[in-house]
């Protein structure tokens, strides 16, 4: 501590009237209205707020300064594995997000090789046929639930791009694998957190086994032959000094990547669909850009879709697919002058930051121009806009995600137009990642 640094303050005590239910604590209040809950916490305690969740004391970090400190993690006090493993650990263990410090650095260095620009350009070329196949049966003029359609689409894209279509797999087997992924993701919302039959966690333990067996079955073939799907890429990539992934690493990373890639992209595309349906002028503007390109644009062309890019950024702000990050302190640390003891579970309120009036004008309004040159409200603070996280665990797939979302929107806009009631408010389920409970009904009409 320097002479000017004031001594760290103690974490405020949790008020008697702010404890929630026995054991569950404030989980239900969060799930009912996350932003309202965090706003109240911010008013009561400021950026480092005490809470109680599922029988344990928890700290909520609010605002870009507090979240930024944890993400930068200068004193290496915040670890990912002990935090995320409590939410999704048994099902996504040893995925990149659930590895820490030196080991994480080593794995990330290898995985980076799977996301270089030439590789991304290759994935982009494969995206278009996968999207075309996935959207082939979409009807015109009839209502359907957009969220579930898009979820199926992103799963199909992932099967193609990540596993090379898993060519010897029957549709029934692929369906079983897709359902296993969904089951693992849904485990995050489980209250009973053990391998107990008929619970979300119990089902997810069995689903993880399905995924492991499936991927292990393909491993020898993927090791033997080089192809441009991510499964094969993970089998063959190597750093300059010869570091490679073991078979276990490949299986663990594949399971995590499939999970990380599909729900997040589904949430983003479905939010964009809603906002463009409610803002026809933006839809027309985005369509004009999409029509100016050919049917299967290259990576650089997708990157030139300026309006779709602005809309995507705004959708990620308003409906961050990962609204909260979690961390666990492996030693005492200080955030915003408040001492957080070792062994504390912390949540970082990313979505809350995205709606703070200090950094955004009319934060609840859909206004993609706020990201345009000249305004750049996302630069109001280094950590004002963090849908992909920050620091060493920042999303490694963020460019891939942008390309996938733009490729889907490019095809949708060229083929269809649609309207959504301006008064429609998506009824969001906040049990794990935020999704519209009504499946987001929509009518797409062929252009």
Which residues of the shown chain bind ligand HEM in the complex (CB under 6 A)? 80, 96-97, 108, 257, 260-261, 264-265, 268, 321-322, 325, 387-389, 393, 395-397, 400-401
The answer to whether 51 touches 322, Cβ cutoff 8 Å, is no
- Shorter beta-carbon distance to ligand HEM: residue 71 or 177: 71
The least CB distance from residue 151 to ligand HEM, in Å, is: 13
Terminal Cα-to-Cα distance of the chain (whole angstroms): 65
The least CB distance from residue 213 to ligand HEM, in Å, is: 22
- The whole-angstrom separation of Cα 74 and Cα 172 is 48
For residue 72, how far is the Cα from the chain centroid? 19
Q: Which residue is nearest to ligand HEM (CB)?
A: 397
Q: Which DSSP string corresponds to 345-401?
A: EEEEEHHHHHT-TTTSSSTTS--GGGGSTTT-GGGGSTTS--TT--GGGS-TTHHHH
The least CB distance from residue 440 to ligand HEM, in Å, is: 17
The least CB distance from residue 314 to ligand HEM, in Å, is: 13
- Shorter beta-carbon distance to ligand HEM: residue 94 or 176: 94
- The whole-angstrom separation of Cα 36 and Cα 376 is 26
- Shorter beta-carbon distance to ligand HEM: residue 338 or 395: 395
The least CB distance from residue 272 to ligand HEM, in Å, is: 10
Return the SS3 of 422. coil
Name the DSSP letter for residue 97: G
- Shorter beta-carbon distance to ligand HEM: residue 397 or 439: 397
- Shorter beta-carbon distance to ligand HEM: residue 14 or 405: 405
- Shorter beta-carbon distance to ligand HEM: residue 51 or 80: 80
- The whole-angstrom separation of Cα 107 and Cα 78 is 18
Structure tokens at 377: 């409200």
Q: Which DSSP string corresponds to 238-267?
A: --TT-----HHHHHHHHHHHHHHHHHHHHH
The least CB distance from residue 257 to ligand HEM, in Å, is: 5
Any idea which residue has 């979505």 for tokens? 351
Which of 223, 302, 224, 270 is CA-nearest to residue 420? 270
Structure tokens at 221: 């073939």
- The whole-angstrom separation of Cα 303 and Cα 366 is 22
Structure tokens at 224: 């033997």
The least CB distance from residue 309 to ligand HEM, in Å, is: 13
- Shorter beta-carbon distance to ligand HEM: residue 64 or 389: 389
Number of neighbours of residue 365 by Cβ within 10 angstroms: 10
The least CB distance from residue 432 to ligand HEM, in Å, is: 14
The least CB distance from residue 61 to ligand HEM, in Å, is: 13
- Shorter beta-carbon distance to ligand HEM: residue 26 or 266: 266
- Shorter beta-carbon distance to ligand HEM: residue 251 or 261: 261
The answer to whether 327 touches 70, Cβ cutoff 8 Å, is yes
């Amino acid at each position: 501590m320097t002479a000017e640094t004031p001594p760290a303050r103690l974490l405020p005590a949790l008020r008697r009237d702010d404890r929630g239910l026995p054991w569950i604590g404030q989980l239900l209040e969060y799930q009912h209205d996350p932003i309202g809950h965090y706003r109240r916490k911010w008013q009561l305690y400021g950026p480092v707020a005490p809470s109680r969740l599922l029988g344990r004391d928890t700290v909520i970090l609010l605002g870009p300064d507090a979240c930024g400190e944890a993400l930068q993690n200068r004193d290496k006090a915040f670890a990912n594995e002990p935090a995320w493993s409590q939410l999704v650990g048994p099902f996504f263990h040893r995925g990149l997000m659930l590895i820490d410090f030196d080991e994480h650095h080593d794995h990330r260095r290898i995985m980076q090789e799977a996301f270089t620009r030439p590789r991304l350009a290759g994935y982009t070329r494969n995206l278009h046929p996968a999207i075309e196949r996935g959207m082939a049966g979409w009807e015109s003029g009839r209502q359907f639930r957009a969220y579930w359609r898009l979820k199926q689409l992103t799963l199909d894209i992932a099967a193609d791009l990540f596993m090379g279509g898993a060519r010897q797999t029957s549709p029934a087997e692929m369906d079983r694998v897709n359902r296993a992924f969904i089951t693992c993701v849904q485990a995050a919302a489980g209250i009973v957190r053990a391998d107990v039959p008929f619970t979300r966690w119990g089902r997810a333990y069995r689903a993880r086994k399905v995924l492991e067996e499936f991927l292990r079955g393909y491993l020898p073939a993927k090791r033997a032959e080089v192809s441009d799907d991510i499964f094969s890429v993970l089998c063959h990539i190597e750093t300059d000094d010869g570091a490679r992934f073991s078979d276990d690493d490949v299986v663990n990373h594949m399971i995590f990547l499939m999970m990380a890639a599909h729900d997040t992209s589904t949430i983003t595309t479905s939010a964009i669909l809603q906002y463009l349906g409610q803002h026809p002028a933006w839809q027309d503007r985005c369509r004009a850009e999409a029509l100016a390109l050919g049917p299967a644009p290259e990576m650089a062309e997708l990157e030139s879709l300026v309006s779709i890019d602005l809309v995507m950024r705004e959708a990620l702000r308003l409906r961050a697919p990962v609204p909260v990050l979690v961390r666990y302190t492996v030693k005492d640390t200080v955030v915003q002058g408040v001492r957080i003891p070792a062994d504390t579970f912390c949540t970082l309120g990313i979505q809350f930051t995205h709606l703070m009036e200090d950094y955004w004008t009319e934060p609840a309004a859909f206004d993609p121009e706020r990201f345009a040159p000249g305004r750049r409200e996302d630069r109001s603070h280094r950590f004002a806009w963090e849908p992909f996280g920050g620091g060493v665990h920042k999303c490694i797939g963020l460019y891939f995600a942008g390309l996938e979302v733009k490729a889907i929107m490019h095809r949708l806009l060229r083929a269809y137009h649609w309207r959504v009631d301006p008064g429609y408010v998506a009824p969001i389920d906040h049990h794990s990642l935020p999704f519209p409970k009504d499946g987001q009904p929509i009518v797409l009409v062929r252009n």
